Amino acid sequence: MKVTVTGGCGFIGSAVVRHLMNRTDHQVLNIDCMTYAASEETLAAVASDPRYRHARISINDQAAVEEALEEFQPDAIMHLAAESHVDRSIDGPDAFIQTNIVGTYCLLDVARRYWLGLEGEKKEGFRFLHISTDEVFGHLSPEDPPFTEETAYDPRSPYSASKAASDHLVRAWYHTYGFPAFVTNTTNNYGPWHFPEKLIPLMIINALEGKPLPVYGKGENLRDWLFVEDHAAALVRAVECGKPGATYAIGARQPRSNLEVVRKICSLLDELEPDSAGPRERLITFVSDRPGHDFRYEIDPSHAERSLDWRAEHDFEAGLRKTVQWYLENRSWWQNLRNQRYDGRRLGVKA
Ligand code: DAU
């Protein structure tokens, strides 16, 4: 199978490309224009494989994408290119509208034209998988049942509103044009190569550098944590056997409060690299809350587990240990990012 992956040098996209290269025979065309959150090192181990190629183009550049698709002749497109950080969407929604909404529209339009030009089995078998988030469902109170594929949309941040709009576009292309698209909505990912603006990598790095660990509000907000390699496995199953028009809600069944997550990071670091100044929990600092902070996300992944014959392999403690070890062993990657792209300062405080 020939698979075009958009955003393949990002955190989840690169896990998908590594999975495709290391665990399947598929060929990959990675369309990634290399924004601040993309990094070529994520794919250094597979980049010289003849089954892999990278086109440094934007999904908004329809002519360039069209040419790349015509040349590569994909059997499927996995669309992961997106602006994804909620705090950045509070400071500057524009990039989120341009990439997540306009970019998804541009890609859908080109992909549909490409698909219309296919014939026979190649046309029948073509798939467009749009990778989205559980944040489109809004947020849960402690008593609510987890999100499912049936949960109504209720996005509450510029980021989640832009992803919700893109999900609606994808479903409209399926219903209106018969375009063989489908959607996955997934909960919080974590693991190697996570850009250090997100909770887990930011806390690991700040703790290693002896800096404050800024917990928003009281740290009671809950997230369901999915190890990124488990997510990549689910997405590859989905592109191989998912049904046009379907939705798959992918989760790990591992809900944890933010404070619990930060405390676990502290204790893992204390075990793996003790700090002579004392236990890292001393660095935990409660700061003002994120504007419009969603309280809880959690997915019931039963439908996806059954339909895709998939289940997350890592529980949170096992995945977090691997993640912390990875950050300890890959300091030059994140030190360069801290020096050149994002120094860790608080984002998203504008209300
Ligand atoms: O649910 C899926 C979503 O998970 C994805 O769609 C998003 O792209 C991804 O960024 C993530 O969104 P969150 O807002 O949950 O992730 P973030 O890492 O920004 O924050 C996780 C929780 O930690 C959230 O409750 C806010 C809190 N937090 C975050 C940061 C960066 C802190 O308490 N302190 C921090 O410094």
Mean pLDDT calculated for residue range 8-28: 98
Model pLDDT for residues 62-111, shown as the tens digit of each residue: 999 999 999 999 999 999 999 999 999 999 999 999 999 999 999 999 99
Question: Among 276, 257, 283, 277, which residue's Cα sits nearest to residue 204?
Answer: 283
* Among the listed residues 338, 178, 298, 162, the one whose alpha carbon sits nearest the alpha carbon of residue 244: 178
Predicted confidence at residue 226, as pLDDT, reads 98
36 is catalytic: no
| 134 among known catalytic residues | yes
Average pLDDT over residues 18-34: 98
pLDDT digits (tens, 9 = 90+) for 37-55: 999 999 999 999 999 999 9
Residue 125 has pLDDT above 60, yes or no: yes
pLDDT score at 188: 98
Q: Report whether pLDDT(295) > 60.
A: yes
Q: Which two tokens stand for residue 336?
A: 């360069």
**In this structure, what DSSP letter does residue 144 have?**
S
pLDDT at 2: 98
Dist. CA 283 → ligand 1 center (Å): 19
Q: What is the mean pLDDT of residues 164-184?
A: 98
Q: Which atom of ligand 1 is nearest to the CA of 297?
A: 1
Average pLDDT, the chain: 98
Burial class (CB in 10 A: 0-12, 13-18, 19+), 137: buried
**Quick check: helix, strand or coil at residue 282?**
helix
Q: Determine the average pLDDT of the residues in 106-120.
A: 98
Which residues contact residue 128 at a Cβ distance below 8 angstroms, ignoring those fewer than 6 apart? 76, 77, 79, 108, 111, 115, 170, 173, 179, 180, 181, 182
pLDDT score of 351 = 57
Contact partners, residue 27, CB within 8 Å, separation at least 6: 1, 2, 3, 51, 52
Question: What residues flank ligand 1, with Cβ below 6 Å?
Answer: 84-86, 133-135, 187-188, 198-199, 202, 214-216, 221, 223, 258, 290, 297
Closest CA to 30 of 14, 42, 19: 14
Rounded CA separation 251/137 (Å): 14
Position with higher pLDDT, 351 vs 200: 200
The answer for residues whose C-beta is within 8 angstroms of residue 172's C-beta and 6 or more apart is: none
Using the mean position of ligand 1's atoms as its centre, give its distance from the Cα of residue 340 in Å.
22
Q: How far is 97 from 193, CA to CA, in rounded Å?
A: 25
User: Any catalytic annotation for residue 159?
Assistant: yes
Region of residue 49 (phi > 0: left; psi between -120 and 50: alpha; otherwise: beta): beta
